[in-house]
Structure 1
Amino acid sequence: MSADYTALKRELGYFIGDDRLIDDPLRTLAYGTDASFYRLIPKLVVKVNDEAEMVRILAAAHRFNTPVTFRAAGTSLSGQAISDSVLLLLSGDYWRGYSISDDAAIIRLQPGVIGAWANSYLAPYQRKIGPAPASINAAKIGGIAANNASGMCCGTAQNSYHTLASLRLILADGTVLDTADPQSVTAFRDSHDELLKSLSVLAAETRNNPTLAERIRHKYRLKNTTGYSLNALIDFADPIDILQHLMIGSEGTLGFISEIGYRTVVDHPCKSTALILFPTVEIACQAVALLKQAPVTAVELMDRAALRSVQDKPDMPAYLHALDDEVAALLVDVRAADPETLKLQVAEILAVLKNIQLVREAEFTFDSVAYQALWNIRKGLFPAVGAVRTTGTTVIIEDIAFPVPQLAAAVRGLHQLFEKYHYHEALIFGHALEGNLHFVFTQDFGITAEVQRYQGLMDEVCTLVVGEYGGSLKAEHGTGRNMAPFVEMEWGSDAYRLMWQLKRLFDPANLLNPGVILNEDAEIHLKNLKPLPPADPLIDKCIECGFCEPICPSRNLTLTPRQRIVSWREISRLKKSGEDAQRLARFEHDFAYQGLDTCALDGLCAIECPVGIDTGKLTRQIRQSQHGSAAARIGDWVDRHFSTVAATTRAGLRLAALSQDLLGDRLMGKTSGLMRRLSGERIPQWNPAMPRAAGKLPASVTDVPGRNGTVVYFPSCVSRTMGPAKSDPFQADLHQVMQSLLYKAGYRVIIPERPEGLCCGMALESKGLLAQADQSLLRLERALWAASEQGRYPVLCDTSPCTFHMLEQIRQPLQIHEPVGFINRYLLEHLRRTSQMASVALHITCTSRKMGLADEMRRLAQQCAQQVFLSEDKGCCGFAGDKGFTRPELNASALKRLKASLPADCEMGISNSRTCEIGLSLHAGLSYQSIVYLVDRCFEAEYPA
Structure 2
Amino acid sequence: MTSETAWQELKGALAEVIPDERLIDDPLRTLAYGTDASFYRLVPRLVVRPESEAELQRVLSECRARRLPVTFRAAGTSLSGQALTDSVLIQLGRGWRDHAILDDGQAIRLQPGVIGARANQLLAPFGRKIGPDPASIASCMIGGIAANNASGMCCGTAQNSYRTVRDLRVILADGSLLDTADPDSVSAFRASHGELLAGLERLAEQAQGNPALAEKIRHKYRLKNTTGYALNSLVDFADGIEILKHLMIGSEGTLGFISTITYDTVVDEPEKAAALAFFPDMGATCRATIALKQAPVSAVELMDRAALRSVQDQPGMPDALGRLPEGAAALLIDVRGNDAAELEARMQAVQRVLEGIQTLEVVTFTRDPATYALYWKIRKGLFPAVGAVRETGTTVIIEDVAFPVERLDEGVLALTETFHRHGYRDAILFGHALEGNLHFVFPQGFEKPGEVERYQALMDEVAQLVGVEYGGSLKAEHGTGRNMAPYVELEWGPEAYELMWEIKALFDPDNLLNPEVILSRNPTLHLENLKPLPEADPLVDKCIECGFCEAVCPSRDLTLTPRQRIVIAREMARLEALGEARTAEDTTRLGALREDYRYAGDETCAADGLCSTQCPVGINTGDLVREMRHERAAGMAGIARRIGRHFSGATRLARGGLNAAGVARSLLGTDLMSKASTGARRLSGDRLPQWSPALPRSAPIRVLAQSPSGDAHREKVVYLPSCATRIFGADHQDDETRSVMEITLALLDKAGFEVILPEMIGHLCCGMAFRSKGQFEEASHKGRELNRELLVASQNGRYPILCDTSPCTLQMQEYLDERLEMLEPVSFAHDHLLPRLSVTPLEERVAVHVTCSSTRMGLADKFVGLARACARDVVVPAEITCCGFAGDKGFNTPELNASALAGLAEQVADCSAGYSNSRTCEIGLTEHGGIPYRSILSLLDRASRAS
Task: Answer whether contact 2:555 2:605 (CA < 8 A) is retained.
Answer: yes
Any conservation in 2 of the 1:270–1:336 contact (CA below 8 Å)? yes
CA distance in 2, matches of 1:231, 1:741: 65
Aligned to 2:792: 786
The match for 1:842 is 848
Whole-Å Cα distance in 2 between the matches of residues 780 and 723 of structure 1?
23
Alignment of 1:642-791 (within 5 A): 642-697=647-702, 698-699=704-705, 701-703=707-709, 705=711, 707-791=713-797
The answer to whether the Cα contact below 8 Å between 1:282 and 1:408 also exists between their aligned partners in 2 is yes
Cα distance in 1, alignment partners of residues 800 and 201 from structure 2:
75
What letter corresponds to residue 489 of structure 2 in structure 1?
A: E
2:355 maps to 1:354: yes
Answer with 765-774 or 817-826: which moved more.
817-826
Query: For 1:834-879, what per-residue CA distance to the aligned partner results, in whole angstroms no more than 9, with x for missing partners?
Result: 5614111110000011111111111111122111111111410010
* 2:85 equivalent among 83, 86, 109: 83
Residue in 2 that maps onto 1:603 = 609
Residue equivalent to 2:52: 50
Letter in 2 for 1:21: L
What CA distance in whole angstroms lies between the structure 2 residues aligned with 1:809 and 1:918?
27
Amino acid at match of 2:220: K
- The aligned amino acid for 2:687 is R
1:320-719 equivalences under 5 Å are 320-578=321-579, 579=582, 580-629=586-635, 631-697=636-702, 698-699=704-705, 701-703=707-709, 705=711, 707-719=713-725
TM-superposition CA deviations, 1:744-794 (whole Å, max 9, x none): 011111111111110001000000000100001110111111111121111
**Residue 678 (structure 1) shift:** 2.1
Report deviation, 1:124. 0.6
Can you list the C-alpha shifts for 1:324-347, whole angstroms capped at 9, x where unaligned?
A: 111111111100000111111111
Matched residue type, 1:789: Q
2:229 is matched with 228
Contact 1:26 1:590 in 2 (8 A): yes
Q: Which amino acid aligns with 1:44?
A: L
* Equivalent in the alignment of 1:824: 830
Kindly tell me: are residues 108 and 143 of structure 1, through their superposed partners in 2, closer, same or farther at Cα, counting changes over 3 Å?
same
Deviation at 1:704, TM superposition (A): 5.2
Q: Label 1:843 to 1:458 Cα distance change in 2 as closer, same or farther (>3 A).
A: same
| Equivalent residue letter for 1:529 | L
Q: Distance in 1 between matches of 2:545 and 2:538?
A: 15
How much does 1:680 deviate?
2.0
**Is the partner of 1:258 in helix, strand or coil?**
strand
Which position in structure 1 is the counterpart of 2:894? 888
Aligned pair in 2 of structure 1 residues 486, 835: CA closer, same or farther (>3 Å)? closer
- Residues of 2 paired with 1:675 and 1:644: CA distance? 26
C-alpha distance after superposition, 1:718-765 (max 9, x if no partner): 000110121122111111110000000111111111111100010000
* Shift in CA distance, 706/438, structure 1 to aligned 2, threshold 3 Å: farther
Counterpart Cα distance in 2 of 1:118 and 1:516: 28
Deviations 1:291-335 (A, max 9, x none): 111111111111111111111011111011111111111111100
2:34 pairs with 1:29: no
Deviation readout 1:342-397 (Å, 9 max, x if unpaired): 11111111111111111111111111110010111100000000000000000000
Q: CA deviation at 1:447?
A: 2.1
Give 1:707 deviation, angstroms: 3.6
Point out the more displaced range, 834-843 or 490-499.
834-843
The equivalent residue for 2:319 is 318
Q: Which residue of 1 aligns with 2:66?
A: 64
Larger deviation: 64-73 or 100-109?
Answer: 100-109
Q: CA deviation at 1:816?
A: 1.0
Mapped contact 2:841–2:869 kept (Cα < 8 A):
no
Q: Deviations over 1:259-302 (max 9, x none)?
A: 00111000000011111111110111111111111111111111
Partner residue in 1 for 2:940: 935
C-alpha distance in structure 1 between counterparts of 2:214 and 2:785, whole Å: 77
Secondary structure of the 1:260 match is: strand
Q: Are 2:896 and 1:869 equivalent residues in the alignment?
A: no
Conserved? CA contact 1:707–1:747, under 8 Å: no
Divergent runs of 4+, >6 A: none
CA contact (8 A) 2:30 2:43 kept: yes
Distance 2:167 2:818 in 1: 61
Offset at 1:700? Answer: 6.9
Q: Confirm or deny: 8 A CA contact 2:841 2:868 kept in the other structure.
A: no
Q: Which amino acid aligns with 1:747?
A: F
Residue in structure 1 matched with residue 263 of structure 2 by the alignment: 262
SS of the residue corresponding to residue 440 of structure 2 reads strand
Separation of aligned partners in 2, 1:562 and 1:297:
33
Equivalence for 1:9 = 11
Evaluate the alpha carbon distance shift between residue 766 and residue 400 of structure 1 in structure 2; reply closer, same or farther with a 3 A threshold.
same
Aligned position for 1:126: 127
- Partner-residue secondary structure (3-state), 2:717: strand
Q: What letter is aligned with 1:541?
A: K
Q: 1-side partners of 2:840 and 2:347: how far apart? A: 46
- The superposition leaves residues 640-689 of structure 1 with CA deviations (integer Å, 9 ceiling, x where unpaired) of 01011101000000000011111111111111112212222222111110
Q: Does structure 1 retain, via aligned residues, the 8 Å contact 2:880–2:900? A: no
Gaps (5+ residues) in structure 2? none
- 8 Å CA contact 1:225, 1:249 repeated in 2: yes
Alignment partner, residue 901 of structure 1: 907
Cα separation, 1, equivalents of 2:706 and 2:563: 47
Q: CA deviation at 1:829?
A: 1.9
Asked if the contact 1:781/1:812 (under 8 Å) is kept, the reply is no
How large is the Cα RMSD of the aligned pairs? 1.1
SS in 2 for 1:654: helix
Is contact 1:2–1:65 with CA below 8 Å preserved after alignment? no
State the alpha-carbon separation in 2 of the partners of residues 645 and 47 from structure 1.
44
Q: Match for residue 42 of structure 2?
A: 40
TM-score (norm 2): 0.98
SS at match of 1:94: helix
Q: What per-residue deviation string (whole Å, max 9, x for no partner) do you get for residues 872-892 of structure 1?
A: 114100101000000000000
AA partner of residue 54 (structure 1): L
Unaligned stretches of 5+ in structure 1? none
**Corresponding residue SS for 2:503:** helix
Does 2:113 match 1:108?
no
> Which amino acid counterpart does residue 205 of structure 2 have in structure 1?
A
Q: How many angstroms apart in 1 are the aligned matches of 2:241 and 2:841?
A: 59
CA distance in 1, matches of 2:474, 2:707: 71
C-alpha distance 190-625 of structure 1, shift in aligned 2 (>3 A): same
Amino acid in the other structure paired with 2:907: S
Query: What CA deviation, in whole Å up to 9, does each residue of 1:217-256 have, x standing for no partner?
Result: 1111111000000110110011100001000000000000
**CA distance in 2: counterparts of 1:700 and 1:561, whole angstroms:** 45
Of residues 806-815 and 130-139 in structure 1, the stretch that sits farther from structure 2 once superposed is 806-815
Q: Partners in 2 of 1:558 and 1:812 — Cα distance? A: 38
Letter in structure 2 aligned against 1:204: E
CA distance in 2, matches of 1:597, 1:664: 30
Identity %: 58
Kindly provide the amino acid, as one letter, of the partner of residue 931 in structure 2: L
Q: Secondary structure at the match of 1:691?
A: coil
* 1:699 partner amino acid: A
The corresponding residue for 1:73 is 75
